[in-house]
Amino acid sequence: MPHIATEMKKRSLILVTVDCLRADHVGFLGYPRPVTPNLDALAANSIVFSNAIVAGAPTYFSFPAILASRYPLALGRDVLGIAPNEPTLASALHEAGYATAAFLAGNPYLGRRFGYDQGFDSFQDFLTGGTLGEPASSDLAPQSGLSKLNRLIEAGSRRNPLSANAYDELYFWYCQWMSARQDIPMDKLRRYPAANVIVDQAQSWLSGLGDQPFFLWLHLMDPHHPYYPPAEALAALGLPRITARRARFLNSFWNRGDIGPQRLQRHRKEILSLYDAGVYWVDKQISRLVEALQPLQRWDETVLAVTADHGEAFLEHGDRYHSPTSLPEYLIRVPLLLRAPELSGRRLLEEPFSLIHLAPTLLEAVGVAAPDSFQGRSSWAQISAGTLPGGPVITECVDGCCNPIRPEDRLRPRLMAMREREFKLVINFREGRDYLYDLKNDPAETSPLPPGDHMRERGRLFQAARMHLQRTSDKHKTDLRLRALLRDLQQSGKMTAATQASRSVDEGRRASVRLM
Ligand SMILES: [Zn+2]
């Protein structure tokens, strides 16, 4: 009898990453405000991770693990992004015959410049050269002659702290008064495309696909500051009183650098409402995407993963946004939901799961082999059976590196967290100190355990840190590192093509001592 090769139909994959989405702000992980009704419904037949932990934070330290299953500092702390030709989730699927597309809502650290387009047939990052964050006060500053006068007054006020404070206060309210005179709608205030724009693009790409298996990556920025959710999302959450004008005031207030957490607390609740409305909008648009797959008959063969690159701070320890100056739970613990067509019922996995394992796990879920360079391992077989191994997971970043474009920012000391279900050790190399937290009894990490306490746990987590440092400074990565450095040198545009290669080799040699 002749052998008839029957190839199993390949499954498609959608990865949705949501910038700044905290694990404790989604309904399927217990948030009481109804911000994620659609994801909650999906979670009823999915694998849900209550302790998914990013491998680095923020964006630029998180994504190398999500896309390339590689720890962010494994190529040296001066390398940013994905190295040229570094294997990724996208490149593995592309080589396996998948149509691949990425639609990213304009995060400057996820652009072509940092290699994130590799492996995608279609890559749209919506970058218009803008920066993240709140407009500087100067956007609202007095004009022309008044501006000169203002500078003189400011210089005078800086001579003593009391008059400096008074100046800051007056200046803030002056800017508010100026901005209140302009009526700018929420959609104009937003710094990046809202999730509906990204989903529209994805839908139109999907509709032209035919029946080829596909990989689609969406990065949504709605919960990222400045917080300007669509008015429809605010209305749906019963918050119609937060108008565009009010949101503009709240964002300016929240961004003040001249006042402390105590005064910022005054508007924390409203800021959280704006953030939650962003999450609501993301949820609604993911549901639109799922609905679009149904008539195309693709939903029944699609694996969907929804997660985040890091969380967000709302004054828990006095801080805002997501600077890597510490690695608290609200920054490193993110939602993770995995939906596969054959799953029924909700499976809740409570052991820590590192996003370093996400890419190989997703590849196994669709039946494609993971590249050898991946540092994570697939957990698909285990998680489909409802279990996870319990070992510590590791998050690393460069302490206080808020502007990774500046090389000197990236060369600061390392910050690491080793996270088990109950204990978490944070090592701050700059301070030369470590902090052990008992997450079971102190989930908000209000006070580290006294030094000398819990030596067994401390020893175990230190050992995990040591092994991690040894493993991730693996010499096999040197080639990727040199390629990434060469790209950075080329992009710096300061050298002629003839000098680039020799400089990069020198740079590489010198830099290999900085791998730790
Ligand atoms: Zn981010």
Q: What is the 3-state secondary structure (H, E, C) of 296-325?
A: CCCHHHEEEEEEECCCCEECCCCCEECCCC
Centre of ligand 1 from the C-alpha of residue 151, in Å: 35
Ligand 1 centroid, distance to 1 Cα (angstroms): 57
From the CA of 161, how far away is ligand 1's center (Å)?
35
Q: What is the CA(107)–ligand 1 centre distance, in A? A: 8
d(CA 180, CA 142): 14
Q: Measured in angstroms, how far is the CA atom of residue 405 from the centroid of ligand 1?
A: 15
Q: CA-to-CA distance for 159 and 170, rounded, in angstroms?
A: 16
Taking the centre of ligand 1 as the mean of its atom positions, its distance from the CA of residue 452, in whole angstroms, is: 36
Instruction: Tell me the CA–centroid distance for residue 58 and ligand 1, in Å.
Output: 5
**Ligand 1 mean position, distance from CA 294 (Å):** 30
CA of 20 to the centre of ligand 1 (A): 6
* Distance of CA 110 from the midpoint of ligand 1 (Å): 9
Q: What's the gap in Å between 218 CA and the centre of ligand 1? A: 13
Q: What per-residue confidence (pLDDT) applies to 495?
A: 44
Euclidean distance between CA atoms 299 and 202, whole angstroms: 14
C-alpha 56 to ligand 1 mean position (Å) = 10
Task: Report the separation in Å between the CA atom of 446 and the middle of ligand 1, taken as the mean of its atom positions.
Answer: 25
Going residue by residue through the chain, which has 516 residues, state the pLDDT in tens, using 9 for 90 and above.
Answer: 444 444 567 899 999 999 999 999 999 999 999 999 999 999 999 999 999 999 999 999 999 999 999 999 999 888 899 999 999 999 999 999 999 999 999 899 999 999 999 999 999 999 864 444 444 333 444 445 567 777 777 777 777 777 778 878 788 777 777 777 788 899 999 999 999 999 999 999 999 998 899 999 999 999 999 999 999 999 999 998 999 999 999 999 999 999 999 999 999 999 999 999 999 999 999 999 999 999 988 999 999 999 999 999 999 999 999 999 999 999 999 999 999 999 989 999 999 999 999 999 999 999 999 999 999 999 999 998 888 887 899 999 999 999 998 888 988 999 999 999 999 999 999 999 999 999 999 999 999 999 989 999 999 999 999 999 988 766 557 788 888 888 887 877 644 443 444 444 334 334 333 333
Please report, as a single letter, which amino acid is at residue 368: V
pLDDT digits 0-9 by tens, 178-211: 777 788 899 999 999 999 999 999 999 999 998 8
Structure tokens that stand for 208 in this block = 């032209």
* Omega before 407 within 30 of 0, i.e. cis: no
59 Cα to the center of ligand 1, angstroms: 4
Q: How far is the CA of 403 from the centre of ligand 1 (A)?
A: 13
Q: Across the chain, how many H-helices and E-strands are there?
A: 18, 15
CA 222 to ligand 1 centroid distance, Å: 11
Q: Ligand 1 mean position to 401 CA, how many Å?
A: 13
Distance 60 CA to ligand 1 centre (A): 7
Superfamily name with CATH number, domain 12-132+191-245+258-389? Alkaline Phosphatase, subunit A (3.40.720.10)
The rounded Å distance from CA 368 to ligand 1 centre is 28
Does the CA dihedral 271-272-273-278 come out positive or negative?
positive
DSSP letters along 75-118, please? Answer: T-TT--SPPTT---HHHHHHHTT-EEEEEE---GGGSGGGTTTT
Q: How far is the CA of 26 from the centre of ligand 1 (A)?
A: 17
Instruction: Give me ligand 1 centre to Cα 19, in Å.
Output: 5
Question: How many other CB atoms sit within 10 Å of the CB of residue 122?
Answer: 13
Q: Residue 190 Cα, ligand 1 centroid: separation in angstroms?
A: 16
Distance 492 CA to ligand 1 centre (A): 24
What separation in Å is there between the alpha carbon of 141 and the centre of ligand 1? 29
Domain boundaries, the chain: 12-132+191-245+258-389, 134-184
CA of 490 to the centre of ligand 1 (A): 26
